């Protein structure tokens, strides 16, 4: 018992998934890579633009749904996940994808992530991780490295960055991966796997901000990345190994010999929240068009 996505009978070219609004992002912004990857994936998956929802919060990255030909929700800062869950429950045959920043998802919006993950709603959450707040002009975020100099940390960030890969696995996400905007092929492959995954899928996209972040740049990542699945043979169904690798995902911040790990860390098959609701409905014969008056009358004095 499972919901199936609405699909087109034939593929649309990737460009058909772009809206006619010109992106206002700076030239060279890593977030462009996510737009390209998504249009490619939507075309491959034969998603119907009129049956597809992208949800974001607030931030440079969160503008993404504006550039796309699909339904889009630009919610309040940090509230993309609950809005996405609402859309998902209302129309479970429509794919729902969250596209937001590291600040939006892991700072102000943090409380939503663990509960959506453990309940295993069938949504894909894509974090465009530039390791700072860009829209508000360069403050440190939960993923900023120690020592990062932003507008509020002129002497360098005294905090340690949050390991969001380890966190996502611990929260119960059933698909956890990391990719990089400088590797479009890998990025599209990983996002496609996440979208096809039945359950809560989290993809962290390392997405440089050339305007403000002068450390976590395309140049920094060049030659530093390693594919944990192809190069290290990591089996994403091995939880102990997934957690062990995830523990070291930020080692490169302090160790020039450590690699930036890309790939699928963790994947497990579990019933989704929506499928459990469907099973209950079928078991107890619940109607999709109930007699609301009869139900309410039971509670009327």
Ligand X SMILES: Cc1ncc(C[n+]2csc(CCOP(=O)(O)OP(=O)(O)O)c2C)c(N)n1
Q: Which residues here bind ligand SF4, judged by CB under 6 A?
A: 25-26, 29, 31, 60, 130, 134, 209-212
Near ligand X by CB under 6 A: residue from 14, 30, 33, 59: 59
CA 98 to the chain's CA centroid: 6
Is 77 a residue that touches ligand X (CB under 6 A)?
yes
- Report what 29 binds from ligand SF4, ligand X, none; CB cut-off 5-8 Å by kind: ligand SF4
Pick 76 or 89: Cβ nearer ligand X: 76
Determine if 58 is a binding residue for ligand X (CB under 6 A).
yes
**Part of the chain binding ligand X (CB under 6 A), chosen from 1-9, 118-126, 134-142, 161-169:** 134-142
Given ligand X, ligand SF4, none, residue 189, with its beta carbon under 5 to 8 Å by kind, binds none
Of 141 and 178, CB closest to ligand X:
141
Looking at beta carbons only, is 60 or 250 nearer to ligand SF4?
A: 60
CA distance linking residue 38 with residue 278, whole number of Å? 29
Contact with ligand X (CB under 6 A) among 130, 144, 204, 225? 130
CB of 104 to ligand X, least distance (A): 3
Is residue 150 a contact point for ligand X (CB under 6 A)?
no
Minimum distance of ligand X from residue 159's CB (angstroms): 15
Find which of ligand SF4, ligand X, none residue 275 binds, CB within 5 to 8 Å per kind: none
Residue 81 or 242: the one with the smaller Cβ distance to ligand X is 81
Chosen from ligand X, ligand SF4, none, partner binding at 104 (C-beta under 5 to 8 Å by type): ligand X
Q: Could you tell me the smallest distance in angstroms from the CB atom of residue 24 to ligand X?
A: 12
Q: State the nearest-atom distance from the C-beta of 29 to ligand SF4, in Å.
A: 3
Phi and psi (nearest 5°) for 91?
-140, 75
CB 59 within 8 A of CB 141: no
Dihedral angle of Cα 202, 208, 212, 215, to the nearest 10 degrees:
110
CB of 59 to ligand X, least distance (A): 3
DSSP symbols for the chain: ------B-SSPPPGGGGB-SSPP-SPTT-THHHHHHHHHHHHHHHTB-GGG-EEEE-SSSGGGGGGGBSSEEEE-STT-HHHHHHHHHHH-TTS-EEEEEEHHIIIIITTTHHHHHHHHT-S-EEEEEE-SSBTTTTSB--TTPPTT---TT-TT---SPPP-HHHHHHHHT-SEEEEEETT-HHHHHHHHHHHHHSSS-EEEEEE---TTT-SSS-HHHHTTTEEETTTTS---TT-HHHHHHHHHTTTGGGT-TT--EEEEEEEE-----HHHHHHHHHHHHT--SS--HHHHHHTT--
Q: Which of 124, 140, 141, 272 binds ligand X (CB under 6 A)?
A: 141
Shortest Å, Cβ 85 to ligand X: 19
Residue 235 structure tokens? 């089996």
Q: Which is nearer to ligand X, 63 or 252 (CB)?
A: 63
Binding residues for ligand X, rule: CB under 6 A, are 58-61, 77, 101-104, 108, 128, 130, 133-136, 141
């Amino acid at each position: 018992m499972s919901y199936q996505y609405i699909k087109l009978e034939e593929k649309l070219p990737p460009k058909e998934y772009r809206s006619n609004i010109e992106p206002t992002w700076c030239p060279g912004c890593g977030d462009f890579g996510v737009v390209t990857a998504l249009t490619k994936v939507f075309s491959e998956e034969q998603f119907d633009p009129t049956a597809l929802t992208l949800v974001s919060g607030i931030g440079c990255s969160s503008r993404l749904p504006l550039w796309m030909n699909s339904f889009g929700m630009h919610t309040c800062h940090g509230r993309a996940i609950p809005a996405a869950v609402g859309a998902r429950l209302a129309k479970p045959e429509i794919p729902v994808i969250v596209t937001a920043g590291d600040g939006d998802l892991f700072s102000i919006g943090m409380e939503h992530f663990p509960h959506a993950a453990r309940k295993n709603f069938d949504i894909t959450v894509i974090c465009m991780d530039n390791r700072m707040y860009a829209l508000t002009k360069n403050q440190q975020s939960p993923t900023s490295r120690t020592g990062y100099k932003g507008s509020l940390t002129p002497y360098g960030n005294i905090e340690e960055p949050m390991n969001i890969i380890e966190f996502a696995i611990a929260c119960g996400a059933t698909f956890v991966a990391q990719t990089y905007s400088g590797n479009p092929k890998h990025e599209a492959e990983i996002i496609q796997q996440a979208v096809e995954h039945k359950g809560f899928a989290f993809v962290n996209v390392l997405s440089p901000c050339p305007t403000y972040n002068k450390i976590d740049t395309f140049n920094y990542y060049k030659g530093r990345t390693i594919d944990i699945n192809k190069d290290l043979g990591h089996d994403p169904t091995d939880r102990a190994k997934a957690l062990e690798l995830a523990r070291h995902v930020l080692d490169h911040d302090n160790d020039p010999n450590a690699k930036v790990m890309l790939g699928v860390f963790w994947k497990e098959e579990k019933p989704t929240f929506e499928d459990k609701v469907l099973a209950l409905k079928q078991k107890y014969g619940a109607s999709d068009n109930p007699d609301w008056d009869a139900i309410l009358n039971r509670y009327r004095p």
